[in-house]
Amino acid sequence: MSALTALVTGGGGGIGHATCLEFAKAGYRVAVCDSNAEAADRTVAELREAGAEAQAYIVDIACREQVHEMIGDVRRRFGRIDAAFNNAGVSAKRVPLAEVCEDDWDRVLSTNLTGTFLCMKYEILAMLEQGGGCIVNNSSIFGVGGGINSPYTATKHGICGLTKSAAMSYAERNVRINAVCPGLIEAGMGLKVLARNHPDPKAFIAGAPINRPGSAQEVAKAVVWLCSESASFVHGHMLAVDGGYGAR
């Protein structure tokens, strides 16, 4: 059997970086996509140092042409895309809806929702042509519940909708599609955004029964599991990785 290939967007830092490393540990070659060239190159260097085959792609996922070109190049270089983690995203100021700047709304939707749609579209087309594959989207606890940050919350609900819709469409064509819904994670945007926007970060952390932030590695392991044969009957599922936050 030929080597497996994984594509990770937002692979330059936080959850994306950790997931690239977990895919490599599982024997995947890794295509690392990020809009930040320096961050993507750091991840690729770390993967190669560990003995994995990896390639960086500097892409704005909101741009159709760039996404299409990236998917084509990954297929030419590695032959196929067996797993994809659509993780790239941005946040916005934590303000009530009527105070949201229209430019912020457009920016967050174009990256989080349109970007995820474009990646899914071209990943699915590639997977259908090769006979199957697995996709995991990065949503959030705010994709299944409410949050004051309305642009971010709206996009994360939208990602859950894209996941469920595509899962229904491609269930019989060997393309499994799921999402992870992380709670507060100590890496990436998590604690930084919380500290900047939340009046009482400790109270938010205490809101999860486990009473601590999660780690990027905990989310990464869930993503790689969803792409494995161990999860072969898991499809169209929103997997909470939230320390019990949603069980309150």
Give me the residues paired with residue 239 across strands: 180
- Cα distances (angstroms) measured from residue 103 to each of 32, 92, 94: 28, 10, 15
CB 133 within 8 A of CB 123: yes
Q: Of residues 28, 57, 122, 152, which has the active-site annotation?
A: 152
188: region left, alpha or beta (phi > 0 left; psi from -120 to 50 alpha):
left
Distance CA 94, CA 114 (A): 21
- List CB contacts of 108: < 8 A, sequence separation 6 or more: 90, 91, 92, 151, 152, 155
Q: Is 40 buried (19+), middle (13-18) or exposed (0-12) by CB count in 10 A?
A: buried
Q: Are 231 and 136 in contact (CB under 8 A)?
A: no
Q: What one-letter code names the amino acid at 92?
A: A
152 is catalytic: yes
Active site residues: 152
